[in-house]
Amino acid sequence: MVSAMTGPVAGAAPGPGMVGPDQAVVLAAGLAKSYGSTVALAGLDLQVAAGETVALLGPNGAGKSTAISLLLGLLSADRGEARVYGRSPSQAVADGLVGAMLQDASLMPGVRVGELLTMVRGLYPRPVSLADLVGLADLGPLLGRRVDRLSGGQAQRVRFATAIAGDPQLLVLDEPTAAMDVQARRGFWRQIRDFAGRGRTVLFATHYLQEADDAADRVVVIARGRKIADDPPAAIKARFGDRQVRFTLEAGSLALLATLAGVDAVEHDRARVTLHSHDTDATVSSLVSSGLGWSGLDVGGLDLETSFLRLVGESS
Amino acid sequence: MTGFLTLEMRRCTRDVRYLVIAVALPIGLYLLFAGLFGSHGQRAQGLPQPTELMVAMIAYGAMWAVFSATGPRIAQERAIGWTRQLRVTPLTPASAVSGKLVTALVVALPAMALVALTAATSHHVHLGAAQWAALLAAMWAGALPLALLGLAIGYLAGDDIAFPLTMALYFALGALGGLWVPLSVMPHLMQDIGQALPTNALAELGWRIAGGHGSVPAALLVLAAWTLGSGLIALLAYRRRGTRAAS
């Protein structure tokens, strides 16, 4: 089936399946979508450049899946526009530029893994060879197995193989590791990195903060249908430059703690104290010279989880 | 598209429900009824018993073949998310739907041909080569409205009710359409209802060809009307589901 080309970008128009250089892979402007009176997306702007791995991070119900569905052409927006490789999302999908792993999407029942992957490869103009696919998705001896008789982890690997079978330029993943244990998750992100290492662009939705931190070059945080941050993981942490000094208070008054240098806030759980500080060096030296009795000192930065909760809190 | 079609067909022919209900059951019923009623009695249409029954069972097999390849299968694929996954491949939605339709019609052929083969070998049903070809071709084309009806069920019904609903339709259309008992022995009201059903029209087509009669405008009209009606419902149901596919 020949897909019709709808003049993608000005200048040298790339043919179906071809991609021009320096072209924004994903470009969303003011994307909005409501279901009845429920606002799922309230105007999302998003840009993803070629070769980037971008995380779409947010709590459940933030609008991540809606955004992904709009960018894949599975839904149409109420307002705003989405372009993928300069064309409509449906056209980009039809041209074989996109592969996707959707949330709660099972495989075709009643066939063998090899049959399924051969069929899916046949739908794309330039698919990955079956041998490469076995390596990339760690399929091992699964090709002869019936799709309905795979374990959860095996099914996940086959779903990943289905998504990359066409060697897509852009790989879109909607909460891909939701059903995986820690070890499977680690293996999965290794596969994604291998795939991204072939010069591919990856956009994934997750509510696992650690995942966004580990896997993404850039994190776009959305909450209640809006983008509330768009930075490298480190920048998200730096933006909330709060660091913490923790210790167990052995002797002395809790009331004194707020007077120590650099301290912005004091929390405690019985004798275990957490000081939020904008200058931990100063806080620690004044703690040492304060005459308070303490043990188990621990100085650290915020993890992404905490940054994220603060970001979400600020936006509401 | 070719790979998608062949895999769809392979899946359907591996389905136990297809093999048992579409292929084995019509053959079994044929052998049972033809054996019970003997080879020489005449039933409606003035056809010999074995020929009349053969046509009815061809229609019966064709009906389940196209139903099993569409209704319950499509409803299940929508429920488990395979339909959505397929939509993020280059296969266009129109190709996916027409692929289902073509698959349904193709897997109907062996179910139909095997009943004919059984009738010819076990009860010596003799037709001319052209007559055989015309009978199978006409009845095959006449299965189109049933396949469209299956598509409509697939896009309208939830996974939990698609199979029982398809089964109920299968029995109702078979019994009321005169595939079990000839319409002529039924009360007048039932005859009127039966003549408006696609199953009766499908069998009528076969009976007329087997009897060496000419065209059957009434049956063709009924089949055309069901094709239009089912096709329209299938299209509307597909459109409605299409916009919700990602919710």
Cα separation, B18 vs A70, in Å, equals: 37
Q: Per-residue DSSP letters for A164-223?
A: HTT--SEEEEESTTTT--HHHHHHHHHHHHHHHTTT-EEEEEES-HHHHHHH-SEEEEEE
pLDDT tens digit sequence for B189-238: 999 999 999 999 999 999 999 988 876 889 999 999 999 999 999 989 88
With contacts defined as CB-CB under 8 Å, which chain A residues touch B92? Answer: 1, 3, 94
Chain A: residue nearest B8 by CA? A111
Window from A175-189, B11-25, B85-99 with minimum mean pLDDT: A175-189
What's at B76, amino acid-wise? Q
Identity of the residue in A104, A108, A110 whose CB atom sits nearest the CB atom of B14: A110
In the prediction, which pLDDT does B33 show? Answer: 86
Chain B positions contacting chain A at CB under 8 Å are 1-4, 7, 10-11, 14-15, 76-77, 80-82, 84-92, 95, 243, 245-247
Neighbours of B231 (CB within 10 A): 18
Per-residue confidence (pLDDT) for residue B17, from 0 to 100 = 87
Which of B14, B82, B90 shows the shortest C-beta gap to A123?
B90
Indicate the residue of A74, A107, A108 with minimum beta-carbon distance to B245.
A74
Strands A218-223, A53-57: pairing is: parallel
Most confident stretch, A47-56, A145-154, A238-247: A47-56
Is A122 in Cβ contact with B10 (below 8 Å)? no
| pTM attached to this predicted model | 0.81
Residues of chain B contacting A172 with CB distance shorter than 8 Å? 88
Instruction: Tell me the per-residue pLDDT of A182-225, one tens digit each, with 9 for 90 and over.
Output: 788 888 898 898 888 889 999 999 887 778 888 899 999 888 88
Interchain pair B92, A100: CB under 8 A: no
Task: Give the sheet arrangement for strand A98-101, strand by strand.
Answer: A98-101, A170-174, A201-206, A53-57, A218-223, A226-231
Please indicate whether, in this complex, the C-beta atoms of A105 and B80 are within 8 angstroms of each other. yes
Contact B84 A74 (CB under 8 A): yes
Read off the pLDDT of residues A86-102 as tens digits, 9 standing for 90 and up: 999 999 999 999 999 99
